[in-house]
Amino acid sequence: MTQLFTNCRLVSPGVDLTGAAILIKDDKIQQVFTAGDTLPAADKITDLGGKMAVPGFIDVHCHGKSGMDFCDATNEAMTVLAKDKLAEGVTSYLPTTLTLPEDQLAAALQTAADYVASGAKGVKVPGVHLEGPFINPKCLGAQNPDYVVAPDMEMVKRLNAIFPVKKVSYAVEMEGGARFASDLISMGITPSCVHSAATYAQFLAAYDHGMRNLSHFCNQMTALHHRDIGLVGAGFANKDVSIEFICDKLHICPDMIRLTFAVKGCEGIQLITDAMRAAGLPDGRSSLGGLPVIVKNGEARLESNGALAGSTLQLNKALKNVYEVTALPLKDLIRCTSFNQAQALNLPLLGKIEHGYFADITILDADFNVKEVYVNGECRFSA
């Protein structure tokens, strides 16, 4: 089957075309046309009315939404998450775990395996993101201290046998943490550092073993200091280190957003939500990893101590925030919503609208509201 999208503003890494058209054949992008080109015939033609067509978003760090958490370990939770992520323009995501016992993590991964095997028509789920349990107990944030353990490759292997693990976020200063990075890479898993009190030297030891990623940059990691630049300094000092950024203007203030984009450039940043189960819901009571949470004015905080407990951010809003805060061109910022994630996770043919790439396309209006979402050329969401 062939489809032709006409009359769109096509925004893809390095590209911003008004009056463009996109030809799709089956699940792949066949050709892009500029304004004035002669357009081919197609089985289906859709006039996008000048709206933006961008590569489908990839959220590599998301715990929950719509009252569900991946670690609920129910098929209902997995199905709801995979469907409702579409509404924010996401076409692929990594369900993200919490610091919990291995049996609970295994149960959650089994729901991801069941979802993929069912052929359900939500977002793509290429794998999961383990955030913990291999973290520093002094840098818990909203993670549960009862289940923290040292880096354990055998546990990762057991979990990976249930469903692919694509990323592991952990504290590099924990025993065996440097070597853990190269062990993960040998399995095709992206190592990332967070919930960590690492010095810059400890980061560099992991860097020498292939560490090139920092999870929710600035949050629960060693700050920039003039005597030890820590993990924030590591993200700034090493151009090839990719950072995840929660751009809700709460976890990261606008001045820090501007500074980080100025230092890293759009090629070094991955926008994430780090969303928890209250995302997409009104303010009220919620929970994260069994810990009570209060959501007020969209801010999710632990009831016990007021610590931030993930976010209620949605990815289209994150893109709108950075566009408004930085005033950078969309053709540059759009790298941060999918292409950089695909590169960091070795996911081929994702993150661009060009010949040969999967037809994972999100349609946005001028205010970044999601109007339609296509996965492999199939419309799976329409507002």
Query: Would you state the pLDDT for residue 287?
Result: 87
Query: Would you state the pLDDT for residue 307?
Result: 83
Distance of alpha carbon 226 from alpha carbon 38, whole angstroms: 59
> Parallel, antiparallel, or unpaired: how do β-strands 15-25 and 2-12 relate?
antiparallel
Helix (H), strand (E) counts: the chain: 10, 21
Query: Would you state the pLDDT for residue 290?
Result: 77
Query: Would you state the pLDDT for residue 245?
Result: 96
CB atoms within 10 A of CB 285: 10
Contact 313, 274 (CB under 8 A): yes
Amino acid at residue number 378: E
- Domains of the chain in sequence order: 2-54+353-382 (2.30.40.10), 57-345 (3.20.20.140)
Considering the entire predicted model, what is its pTM?
A: 0.97
- Is residue 152 flagged as an active site residue? no
CB atoms within 10 A of CB 254: 14
Q: Which residue of the set 37, 274, 332, 365 is catalytic?
A: 274
Query: Would you state the pLDDT for residue 25?
Result: 98
Helix (H, G, I), strand (E, B) or coil at 88: helix
Concatenating the DSSP letter of every residue in 321-337 gives HHHHHH---HHHHGGGG
Contact 212, 232 (CB under 8 A): no
Task: Please give the chain's pLDDT, 383 residues, in tens.
Answer: 999 999 999 999 999 999 999 999 999 999 999 999 999 999 999 999 999 999 999 999 999 999 999 999 999 999 999 999 999 999 999 999 999 999 999 999 999 999 999 999 999 999 999 998 999 999 887 788 889 999 999 999 999 999 999 999 999 999 999 999 999 999 999 999 999 999 999 999 999 999 999 999 999 999 999 999 999 999 999 999 999 999 999 999 999 999 999 999 999 999 999 999 999 999 999 988 778 999 999 999 989 888 888 899 999 999 999 999 999 999 999 999 999 999 999 999 999 999 999 999 999 999 999 999 999 999 999 99
